[in-house]
Structure 1
Amino acid sequence: MIENKNCMKVKSFKLSALAAGVAVVAGTFAASASAETTFESDSGWKAGFNGHIPIFAVLGNYDDPTDEDSFTITTGFNPATLQTNIYAPMQNGLEVSGHFQMNADIAPGDANANFRSRVSEIAVAGDFGQVNIGKGFGIFGVPAIGDNGSALGVGLIGGPDQVAATAGRIGNGYFYANFTPRVMYTSNNLGGLQFKVGVFSPSKVDGVADAEYSTPRIEGNVVYTADMFSLWSSAFTQDVDSKTGTFDDYTMSGVDFGGSVSLGNLNVRGNYSMTSGTGNGVFAARLDPNEEDASQWYVETTYGFNRTTLGVSYGEGEDDINSSANDTDLTMVFARYAATDALTLMAEYTTLGTEGGQGEYDAFIVGAQLTF
């Protein structure tokens, strides 16, 4: 027999793979952590589901590829998400669970292309810590992605024809961890200190048939959390080799440093990343045997009172591959209001600046998110 527990805020069931990782290192969100519907069988198996549905109306003025105004209704940085969690009864001191996540963007014309699974993994926890096996969120850059502005908002928009999830502060504040098959170890909390390390399927450069990837990507981070502040650092490395010598073998790598401080209702956080051989946005963004350097950084301030959070953030991305042609800066001003424990109303103003003026835009955004 399976009983519907309909438990509220059950700690053992996390919001989602992304939101859980963010919540651990980032502190507070404008919306509450949500309720979850759970079921439990007589034999001790448990199942639960949760997720969120974000909807935004975006009015933007874009300079590239043409000077035009555009209106669209879409998801933000996070697509609509349904997370399913299965927990086996504890045996031999081991807590074994399975996690499966489905995601969907809602912009016009994207229903088939962007309904997908970003998480499908097994987690094994015990006195030793936790091991995750399967596809899930990465390690490098994860603490930085916990900013309030992009975690619940829109951030960087690809242009007037944006049809998928937006980019938050990717390339204008942090490097994107992405969802990749991996084996990852997470330590127990050691007096506020916790670390992760993992081996990942290497990311491949699109359209480069001569490249080979004989070793995994290695990622790791360390986070120290106290009552009023959190500090973190993460790093990664991945080799890209040529099978026939058409380009020099090279290494993609990166390191970041960041932290957050909370003083009452005021929170300030920032992050600085340096990458080599991959650009300032995502793994294997290009063939880069010269290992050009890139960097990303942001600073964010939020203030919360009653059920409202106000915030402003600024960040930049710099990439040496084409001199300053790829340098950008992103400013976000945002407000969140928790109308109920499940429904958050949001407003955002975002503006992107570029070194050459191409691709600049400003956008006014209003939206809502149901978190369940």
Structure 2
Amino acid sequence: MSPRHWALVGLAAVMTGGGVTVLCPADARADDYSDLLDILRAKGALTQGEYSTLLVRHLHRTAAPVRPARHAAAAHHDRPVPVATADDAGDAGGRMAPMVAAARQAADSAAASARSAQEAMLAAQSEIDSPSVVRIANYVPGKGLTFHAGPVDINFSGFINGFYSYNSPSGGRPVAGGLSTGGSGFDSSSVRNGLLPAGFIVKLTTTQSGIDLGAVLGMYPGIDNANPGAFNANSGGSPVGLGTPGIDLRQVYITAGTKSAGTVKIGRDLALFGSDAILDDATLLSVGSVGSNASPGNTSLGRIGVGYVYADWIPQISYASPVIHGVQGSVGIFQPLDEYNYAGDNLSASSIQHSSPMVQGKVTYDFKSGDLSGRIWAGFLVQHQQDLTGANIPTDARRGAMAEAGEIGAKLTYGRAQGVAYYYRGSGLGTTGLFFDGVAANGRKRDSEGYYVQGSYAFTKHFKLVGSYGVSNLYQAPGEDSSLLVRRNESEVGAGYYTLTDWLTLVAEYAHTQADAHGPDSARDNTVSAGAILFF
């Protein structure tokens, strides 16, 4: 017999009267009723206890002639052995009929319930897999929230910061094109943004016809009142009642490409030349040189103009190659920018005509060897400035100049220590901003160069100290003699960063800024800042 038949035999031991009645294996055969009980137990309609009770009762009622066990006969030899009669069989059959019917009905009901549950599960799974259902990916601190809406991924991220900055001039006279507030003669307090404003960035990505597509919209509001000028929201602010902050919609672009062919970008985004210099600058998370602290705009200067020229957010059509053994190349055409007289007083030329685009390119190499990792990069910039106008340029001269610049930098990380070194040189590039004072009033190009070095060490998982020094030099053009023009902007910065949570970092910083002219004028100031920046 099968194992289940023997199991039925074991369960068929019942108490009858004062003795034990044992059913023979031949009598304990499976039938339709016991099969139904098996089905009900398998489907969960019966508990193990209910199953055992019904099975034993059924076997007892349907038993054929029985014989007592040996030990029972020995103990109760005087008791008659019950014998099943035809009437008993009829009675048992009569009692079994409604039980079999009920069991069959219960089995059918259980089967229907199982089918219904399976259909509901399949329907729920289909709904989960439906493109109309929006799901959220696992959250990674600082990387924003990513939602999967069918074939489209939507990422929302951003940051917010605020600092109290106290600026104290150390004396001197204002320098044309200088970045120190030392000539103002007044201390100033402000509650302001640092080098970063706030940022709210939405990124959409998907793959269509084998092409990876993306769209980015980045909005960067400040916390101080805006007073739009030549630099729009980044101009000095207006600390007057009923003011409103400026909104800098600096990122609007699309991307299309593949991992093997590279990616094309069309729209407005951070340019290539100088981008690594500012992204690796520690003052990106703090304040640095304040610029106008009495009437702060959307951002401070950080190390802009005191170590590198601002990369800027420029309309572009650019291409980035695939990364091959850590090497990637990028090149693009960009909206040409005007030559700008930032120093004022007719010290520099200006232009508004552009028949050709600006061209920028960059090569990066990322590597890792044991505990040492880093990036080395080099870039260039070229733009033809046309129809220059200046105090010493004849109106009919139609003079032009080819602005050129190159850069090189490295960022190395070893354990808890990190270092950055950067250098740039340009002709017609200018200082602080692209093409600020790059051409003299006589139409001749000015050379410029600058660098910064930065070191940091993380003493714990949460606490890090950073120190940096940077210089930007602007030289006079041939035939020029301007003692008022800035010759050198420099600064030293020391800061401590404490990561309180995955989102929130507390910052305390000291910065010294100095501006020197080609003549005797010089200005110096000191700034202490403290605040917090939050990334989500």
Q: Report if TM-score (shorter chain) is over 0.5.
A: yes
Mapping of residues 218-367 of structure 1, within 5 Å: 218-227=359-368, 228-242=373-387, 245-286=396-437, 288=439, 289-304=443-458, 305-321=460-476, 322=482, 325-356=486-517, 358-367=522-531
d(CA) in 2 for partners of 1:257 and 1:249? 27
- Kept in 2, the 8 Å contact 1:210–1:246? The answer is no
Match of 1:97 in 2: 214
| Corresponding position: 1:125 with 2:242 | no
Tell me if 1:170 matches 2:304.
yes
* The structure with more strand, counted as a fraction of residues: 1
Q: Does 1:147 align with 2:280?
A: yes
Percentage of matched positions with identical amino acids: 24
Name the CA shift for 1:337/1:113 in 2 (closer, same or farther; >3 Å). Answer: closer
Over 3 Å counting, the alpha-carbon distance change for 1:275 and 1:38 in structure 2 is same
Is 1:216 aligned to residue 347 of structure 2?
Answer: no
Give the counterpart letter for 1:326 in structure 2.
R
Kindly report the root-mean-square deviation, in angstroms, between the aligned alpha carbons of the 2 structures.
Answer: 2.1
AA paired with 2:452?
A: Y
Output the CA distance in 2 between the equivalents of 1:253 and 1:138.
15
Q: What amino acid maps onto 1:179 in structure 2? A: W
Give the letter for the 1:38 counterpart. T
> Is contact 1:2–1:39 with CA below 8 Å preserved after alignment?
no
- The number of equivalent residue pairs is 347
Q: CA deviation at 1:342?
A: 0.4
- Residue 80 of structure 1 corresponds to 198
Deviation at 1:114, TM superposition (A): 2.4
- Aligned partners of 1:178 and 1:355: how far apart in 2? 25
Report SS of the residue matched to 1:68. Answer: coil
Which range moves more in the overlay, 186-195 or 57-66? 57-66
The TM-score normalised by the length of structure 2 is 0.62
Q: Indicate whether 1:138 and 2:271 are aligned.
A: yes
Distance 1:209 1:298 in 2: 28
CA contact (8 A) 1:199 1:217 kept: yes
Q: Report the counterpart of residue 29 of structure 1 in structure 2.
A: none
The structure-2 alpha-carbon separation of the partners of 1:286 and 1:148, relative to structure 1 and needing over 3 Å to count, comes to closer
Shift of 1:263: 2.0
Q: Contact 1:253–1:277 (CA<8 Å) still a contact in 2?
A: yes
Amino acid at match of 2:361: G
1-side partners of 2:223 and 2:413: how far apart?
A: 35
Specify the SS of the correspondent of 2:184. Answer: coil
Spell out, residue by residue over 1:178-215, the C-alpha distance to the aligned partner (whole angstroms, 9 max, x if none): 00100111111110111111100100135888641000
Query: In the aligned structure 1, how far is the partner of 2:456 from the partner of 2:508?
Result: 14
Look up the SS of the partner of 2:278 in the other structure. helix
One-letter code aligned to 1:355: D
TM-score calculated relative to the size of structure 1 = 0.87
Distance 2:321 2:531 in 1: 37
- Give a deviation string over 1:135-184, Cα, whole Å, max 9, x none: 11100011111334222111121133242201121121111110010011
Superposition deviation, residue 287 in structure 1: 6.3
Query: Which of these two proteins has the greater Rg computed from alpha carbons?
Result: 2
Structure 1 window deviating more from structure 2 (157-166 vs 113-122): it is: 157-166
State the one-letter code of the partner of 1:241.
Answer: Q
Describe the SS at the equivalent of 1:105: strand
Instruction: Report if aligned partners of 1:261, 1:268 keep a CA contact under 8 Å in 2.
Output: yes
Contact 1:94-1:124 at 8 Å conserved across structures: yes
Aligned residue number for residue 8 of structure 1: 139
Instruction: Answer with 214-223 or 90-99: which moved more.
Output: 90-99
The structure-2 alpha-carbon separation of the partners of 1:75 and 1:4, relative to structure 1 and needing over 3 Å to count, comes to: farther
C-alpha change, 1:225 and 1:92, in structure 2 (3 Å) is same
1:72 alignment partner AA: S
1:235 Cα deviation after fit: 0.6
Q: Secondary structure at the residue paired with 2:187?
A: strand
Deviations 1:84-131 (A, max 9, x none): 11123x122211110000011112455656212000000112021111
CA distance in 2, matches of 1:292, 1:316: 17
Query: Where does structure 2 lack aligned partners over 5 or more consecutive residues?
Result: 1-131, 172-181, 227-236, 238-242, 342-348, 389-394, 477-481
CA shift at 1:264, angstroms? 1.3
Distance in 2, matches of 1:341 and 1:105, equals 23
Cα distance, 1:134 vs structure 2:
0.4
For residue 247 of structure 1, report the CA deviation from its aligned partner: 5.0
Please tell me the residue identity of whatever aligns with 2:158: G
Relative to structure 2, which stretch is displaced further, 360-369 or 160-169?
A: 160-169
Q: Which moved more, 1:198-207 or 1:255-264?
A: 198-207
C-alpha contact 1:336 1:347 (8 A) present in aligned 2: yes
Instruction: From the two aligned structures, give the one with the greater helix fraction.
Output: 2
Instruction: Give the secondary structure class of the aligned counterpart of 1:254.
Output: strand
Any conservation in 2 of the 1:336–1:345 contact (CA below 8 Å)?
yes
For 1:60 and 1:113, the matched residues in 2 are separated by 22
Closer, same or farther in 2 for the Cα pair 1:237/1:73, shift >3 Å? same
Partner of 2:95: none
